[in-house]
Amino acid sequence: MKRKFLIDTDTASDDAVALLMALRHPDVEVAAITVVSGNVPLAQGVTNALVTAELCGSDVSVFAGADKPLFREAEYAEWFHGSDGMGDQFYPAPQRQPEEKHAVEAIIDTLTTETDLEVVTLGPLTNLALALQREPSIAAKVKKCYIMGGAPCTVGNVTPAAEFNIWVDPEAAQIVFRSGLPIEMVGWHLCRGEANLRPDDIDLVRSFDTPYAHFTIDCNRTAQEANRIQSGEIGIPLPDPTTMAIALDPSICTERSNHRVEIETKGEFTRGMTVVDELNVAHDERNCDLWRPNGYNIPKASICWKFDVEKWKALLYSLLQ
């Protein structure tokens, strides 16, 4: 039986590769794609999700969601992903339109009707937070929630303390991390260093000579240059695909531990910081196996600290050929 994923995304270049991985994986059925404002404005993110689904020959339903954070103005990352979010490739408009239903309703309906559903979030957590506020019981229906977000090692990519997805809507992230969802947090740090697609990796992907391989490199063209400018690293950083790889094959994460995670919403310098009590210096039982508020057993956030770079790249390559 195939695993079922619901994917929430602010579709830009690395999100598109993550979507491609899930849509092409033989053991996964994508039940729905919901789109949120983040990397690009909502309408562009919806278009990019539909373009990616069409490339994969998928008719998966795509739903438009929140066009701004819960309480803040919208922030975008077109400087990193290009004005179209896809490396300024300006792909032809998709043939399909998004569904009429709002993404928040789609999340609630899908989680209510599907069993053993896994959620993968690739953008700000606004849609998921709104769904949890409206229907808190859905948290108990999720088998696992993989979140691409945060900087548990406190090296941010939008401020010194924060990763973009959490920084854009920290109030939404706070709701999600306190909801009781069985979270696996995959931070931005994992896509750095040797996890980048290096020049030799890029040449290898090009050699596959498939539409999926060329798409992966082309749509990340501006991200590659922005990565060099921001971090000095040579290659394509793929935070969303690394998260998707761990969702597809959890054994790719080689070191994980459970922790209390709080989201800073008011700090002058630390907006969006994911505060992870790695050493249990607060002596908080949430840094043990289970947090038990009011007598209920609620899993805490599992943090992926390290992962198998060779295994992650091998999985990506297998889905691009």
Cα(43)–Cα(192) distance, integer angstroms? 29
Sequence-distant (≥ 6) Cβ neighbours of residue 109 within 8 angstroms: 101
pTM confidence score: 0.95
Sequence-distant (≥ 6) Cβ neighbours of residue 30 within 8 angstroms: 4, 5, 6, 7, 19, 22, 23, 58, 60
- List 29's β-bridge partners, or say none: 4
Query: pLDDT by residue (tens digit) across 96-115?
Result: 999 999 999 999 999 999 99
Percent of the chain beyond pLDDT 90?
Answer: 89
- Residue spans of the domains in the chain: they are 3-320
The torsion defined by the Cα of 118, 26, 244 and 171, in degrees rounded to 10, comes to -30
Instruction: Specify the CATH number of the domain 3-320.
Output: 3.90.245.10
Query: pLDDT by residue (tens digit) across 215-273?
Result: 999 999 999 999 999 999 999 999 999 999 999 999 999 999 888 899 999 999 999 99
